[in-house]
Structure 1
Amino acid sequence: MVTANQEMAVYCFDTLLAHYNNQPVPPPAFDEGNFPLFVTWKKIVNGGEPRLRGCIGTLEARHIIDGFKDYALTSALRDRRFPPIQLKELPNLECTVSLLTNYEHGLHYLDWEVGKHGIIIEFTDPDYNTRRSATYLPEVAAHEGWTTLEAIDSLIRKAGYNGAITESLRKQIRLTRYQSTLFTMHYSEYTNYVKTTRGATPSLAGAKPSN
């Protein structure tokens, strides 16, 4: 089975650096396949807690080479929650790549485990009669220290619902749970990898600013 690995994170860093340098992306060093996937960028400053800088992916299976290439840039530059990542931030970045697996329908909105499952919720907004949906990756609830109920209520807000969260609303949620494999790499680890495997250090000189 294909699992998230070091080479996938390297490819995401390669893609972002190639964007800034206006150069071709080096060929990936991992096998092809089709999976739902996410790319998450976080920024670490002065040894503090990593702060989210972008996280976008797809819940539908994508060719993973094309998928990581697309979402490395989309999550870095076009996550509407954050300004685009700037070139000067790269030395403080870490990248997490995730491959999603084992999709299952939950029996109810609490039919999942914190730290084990990611979740997708779907429900109808009673105020506007519109469908809403949102997802959290498996690591999110555990990192935030949430219970299953707290995670569900947070995800309802993430989906864009601003009304009162009632038990009736929760009970109409359609929940899908899934699992993932992930790999996290800091930029310093990326530079060491490139130096070891390619005999050169990634260059930030002369790179163009982000769009």
Structure 2
Amino acid sequence: MAAGCCGTKKQKLNNSNVPCDGSVMQNGTQTRNPPIVHPDMGFFCFDVLYCQLHQLDPPKAPNFCNDAFPLFVTWNIGRDMRLRGCIGTFNAMHLHAGLREYAATSAFKDSRFNPISRDELPRLHVSISILRHFEDGADYLDWEIGVHGIRIEFHNEKGSKRTATYLPEVAKEQGWDHIQTIDSLLHKGGYKGLVTPEMRRSVKLTRYQSEKVTVSYQEYMNHWQSRRC
């Protein structure tokens, strides 16, 4: 199920000794290495967007890890990094297919914005968020600003079940405390009534963490030119 932020057959890696969890095998022992996210994921999302905007064939399968994770793709524009689209999924998807799908979905189908146009390309940044470490919160305050993303479930005024999420960076970037974040998230999820302490206590909260990488269009072009050399 797609969600606003803000599968294909599994393919073998070129190096089969590099698992997707960021660890490597050395003398039969697994040791930690860099995070799952990699700038190549951002370059691939730009490939997807560029090909769609210019009516080109889709890009070939990338070389980075293809294990399955929940993920979000966020497009920002300009020096002020204004949000231009952000959609993802809490269902684990193989990264090649998931990034291919949500690079386009967040660029063209975020209902809050017009589809991204060709002339906006040079001013874009793309961020990839790989979601991990999901935990049930004891209550609506059981999460840490700047560390956890949160997903809430609640019932609106008509009794319908609704959900909404903010990625880990949102509350910190906005300067919100816990209550401000929960209240904003309730409204984002479609709650139109007065947010009372009782309403906040009724929320079911799931907290999670993410690994994130951001790539600019200029970095993408530099990477593309280096591949031609």
Comparing both chains, which one has the higher relative contact order based on Cα–Cα distances under 8 Å and sequence gaps of 6 or more?
Answer: 1
Alignment of 1:128-167 (within 5 A): 128-167=158-197
Unpaired runs of 5+ in structure 2?
1-20, 23-35
Is residue 61–residue 96 contact of structure 2 (8 Å, CA) maintained in 1? no
Give the letter for the 1:37 counterpart: L
| One of 92, 113, 122 as aligned partner of 1:82 | 113
Is residue 109–residue 152 contact of structure 1 (8 Å, CA) maintained in 2? yes
Write the distance in 2 (CA, Å) between the matches of 1:102 and 1:31. 19
Write the distance in 2 (CA, Å) between the matches of 1:28 and 1:15. 11
Match of 1:12 in 2: 45
Alpha-carbon distance, 1:190 to partner: 0.4
1:35 is the counterpart of 2:69: yes
Per-residue CA shift, 1:20-50, capped at 9, x if unaligned? 2222313312011000000000001xxx311
Write the distance in 1 (CA, Å) between the matches of 2:190 and 2:52. 32
What TM-score, normalized by structure 1, do the two folds share? Answer: 0.90
Q: Which moved more, 1:189-198 or 1:66-75?
A: 189-198
Write the distance in 2 (CA, Å) between the matches of 1:24 and 1:124. 41
Is residue 14–residue 26 contact of structure 1 (8 Å, CA) maintained in 2? no
Per-residue CA shift, 1:103-142, capped at 9, x if unaligned? 00000000000100000000112x2011111000001111
Alpha-carbon distance, 1:196 to partner: 1.1
RMSD value, Cα:
0.9
Alignment of 1:184-203 (within 5 A): 184-199=214-229
Aligned residues: 195
Is residue 99–residue 180 contact of structure 1 (8 Å, CA) maintained in 2? yes
Alpha-carbon distance, 1:8 to partner: 0.5
SS of residue paired to 2:143:
coil
Write the distance in 2 (CA, Å) between the matches of 1:148 and 1:20. 40
Percent of pairs with identical residues: 46
Per-residue CA shift, 1:154-196, capped at 9, x if unaligned? 0000000000100011001000000000000100000001111
Write the distance in 1 (CA, Å) between the matches of 2:193 and 2:58. 47
What TM-score, normalized by structure 2, do the two folds share? Answer: 0.83
SS of residue paired to 1:164:
coil
Give the letter for the 1:34 counterpart: A
